[in-house]
Structure 1
Amino acid sequence: MSGYFITGTDTGCGKTEITLGLMAALQIRGQRVLGMKPVASGCDPSPDGLRHADAERLQAQGTFAVPYALVNPYAFLPPIAPHLAAEQAAISIELERIRAAHAELSRQADWVLVEGIGGWRVPLGPECFVGDIPRTLGLPVILVVGLRLGCLNHALLTAESIQGSGLELAGWIANQVDPDLLAPEANLKTLQTLIQAPCLGAVPWMDAPDARAIAACLQVGR
């Protein structure tokens, strides 16, 4: 099994759209691919329990059906930081539970793509952060850079933090989330010069993002 952990510069940078595009790119090449979002807050009640729209999209994009509990082991109702949501629910986010769910998905698929929550340094507990998930799962990291004002600082700090933690930054993807951003090409060129990892694609602004359209903008695979 191969896989990546997809993190982002911040909330709203397009991690889910890019993860769906990566899944589609691999599926186009005949790979069996599953998606996972281990931790999600801001979930909606359903007859089957709490459900998160992004996790459901990853589940639906999978090459075959798997239980929601494997895709999203930790689902929280309030749309707040995950460590606060877990505290309110009186539970702890355990990396071993995430590892077990990932292992089951990995047993069935060629690729498992794991989407984080928020940015790289979002806390999951008193001494646990988002970056501890790929460390536990043994996954290289792909950074999604939401192209908008302020993205250069966010991207460079995040890339440095990932690489400084000893994990592999397999590459980064530029995703234009602001249609009115001035000089997007110049921002992209700056990032290509300064981030010490390959650019795996640049996704332009899309009114209605589509996984296959995004896939056409990406280079993925090892």
Structure 2
Amino acid sequence: MEQFLSGLCPCLSKLFDGWAADAQKRQDKAMMVAGTVCTKKSSRFGFGSRSDKVTVRLSAQSETVLQWQRAAADEEAGGGGEAAWTDIDLTDVKIVDKRGETGLALVSRRGDLLLEVDMDSGTGGGGGGSSGAAAAQRDAWHAALTDLTEDLRRNPQRAEASRSVAERVKEAALKQKHFAQRSIELQAAKRDAEARKARFMAEAGGLKYTAMAMANRS
């Protein structure tokens, strides 16, 4: 019995470790999909620097895509509408780097800086947190992104499967948009046809009465 239990313990330990790792991955993914508010650093036309409030999140449709969106208040035009999301292909990320106390940077395989941000707080939603909370938030995102990018490199099939799901979602959205546009065009064509018919009937009726009037005069 002792030998059986001693042989069973390592197996159970590996099993529990696997469950814990899977649970951590699910927790990390949920955190990244929910997103966080950061301060994005960038150069302006190659000169100087600027900082923008942005939301960073993992795409809910594809775990190979990290997205960021500038806050409307920081738009060049002064707001007035939701800014577009910018996509980053995580399969192209070589380094997830900690910078300073609260900074995080993504560097591509070619050495290009894809994204550099400072975490604003320890919560998922915004600023006002302590530097300790911001550092903890940065560390959580660093660990999660490092684990995900390494996993995508080790398992290219996982990346392809995630891409195919995202492509199907995008294709379905494009088809829906196409059919909606086609429906609008058909309705517009129908209205134009009815308007032309109404004008023709009005003109035909006018000619009829004109002909009758001329016949009566003769």
TM-score by length of 2: 0.21
Q: Which has the higher contact order (CA 8 A, sep 6+)?
A: 1
TM-score by length of 1: 0.21
Structure with max Cα Rg: 2
